[in-house]
Homo-oligomer: A and B are copies of this chain.
Amino acid sequence: MSTASKALNNTGRMGDETRERVKRVASEIGFRPNALARGLLSKRSFTIGLLTNDTYGRFTLPVMAGVSEALVDHGVSVFLCAIEDDPALGQIHVEAMLDKQVDGIIATGKRLDRRLPVDLSNLPVPVVYAFTEGTPNSVTFRSDDAQGARLAVEWLLKIGRRRILHVTGPMEFFSVRERAEAYSEVAGDAEPVMYGIWSESWGHDAIEEIWQRPGEKPDALFCGNDQIARGAVDALRERGIKVPQDVSVIGFDNWEIVAAQTRPPLTTVDMELKELGRQAGLTMLALAEGRPVEPGVRKLPCRLVVRQSCGGDKPGA
């Protein structure tokens, strides 16, 4: 019994030949150790929980894919718990995960500046936050929205655009403010930022508004997300204004279903959520193994995805 255990785990001392023989027989009979029993001893279940309030999955799926990809090689499986914005449901899921002795919990959401509706600050297991606001001394991963916005505006400047407008979502969103600031810095704040909602219709309305008011028209639009960008592109086309010849439009999110189906397909900023998930997963692993991890907020760079809505060339910088 114990010899078998040591042979299979490559621990203890024994004859090479004995070890090999054990391994061979084990694989012949298809022996697979019971992870529950192992977990009982080792205090590690090789299981983590992913908690999210993003029902729609827009942000959670890429994060989940990254987490899973990072951990599958280490034999770690992940419980996905969608808790909506229901504190009671959140509590139930957290307790269920704790009962199952998860090695840690990754919290993720749909907004950088909102907490999940459940308190994760005094759990007996490590917690990592990804794309949701963490507690003061936690480890948090988020996208660098300012850098993403800079990427977009710099690209527009680089391809020769000079009158760049920023049409975006509600000012209450932290990421909206951050992107708007970066926009103003890079573009110069000739025109005030246009705040609205996260929908195609706002993109439409914004174009309406811009073309109705007097004054010079923009030659480029930096939109706060792909839906707004799509609405704007459609509205421009309906006015007979050519995208990208007359006006360049750039989005944010790289939400394939929106960005790729727009005519022309949107150049946009990708927040690299999968990479964010990968790093969160790796960090969780470190924590679970007791390795030290610096607390704090880590901003991950965004990436420009060039399609056809801006004109210009391949991405340069």
Chain A contacts to B: CB under 8 angstroms: 32-37, 39-40, 45-47, 49, 55-57, 61, 64-65, 68, 72, 75, 77-82, 89, 92-93, 95-101, 199-201, 227, 234, 238, 256-258, 261, 263
Contact = CB atoms under 8 A, between A and B. Distances in A.
Given A40-B40, A72-B93, A199-B261, A46 B100 contact: yes
Nearest to A230: B261
Nearest to A262: B200
B96 A82 contact: no
A72 B95 CA distance: 11
Q: Is the interface of A mostly helix, strand, loop or mixed?
A: helix
Nearest to A261: B200
Contact of A101 (B35, B98, B200): B35
Contacts of A100: 35-36, 45-47, 77
A167 B102 CA distance: 49
A93 B46 CA distance: 13
Nearest to A258: B257
A64 B200 CA distance: 28
A263 B78 CA distance: 40
Contacts of A201: 261, 263
A69 B227 CA distance: 30
Given A64-B82, A77-B100, A45 B55 contact: no
Contacts of A101: 34-36
B32 A40 contact: no
A30 B61 CA distance: 34
A212 to B, nearest CB: 19
Contact of A77 (B39, B57, B65, B81): B81
| CB-CB nearest 4 A-B residue pairs | A80-B80, A35-B99, A57-B61, A35-B100
A72 B99 contact: no
Contacts of A56: 61, 256
A95 B35 CA distance: 11
B77 A33 contact: no
Contacts of A65: 55, 82
Contacts of A72: 89, 92-93, 96
A39 B38 CA distance: 12
Nearest to A50: B80
Contacts of A35: 99-101
A134 B39 CA distance: 33
Nearest to A257: B257
Contacts of A45: 36, 100
Contacts of A37: 40
A134 to B, nearest CB: 23
A109 to B, nearest CB: 15
16 contacts: A36-B39, A47-B100, A55-B65, A57-B57, A61-B61, A68-B80, A75-B99, A77-B79, A77-B81, A77-B93, A77-B97, A78-B79, A78-B80, A79-B80, A200-B261, A234-B234
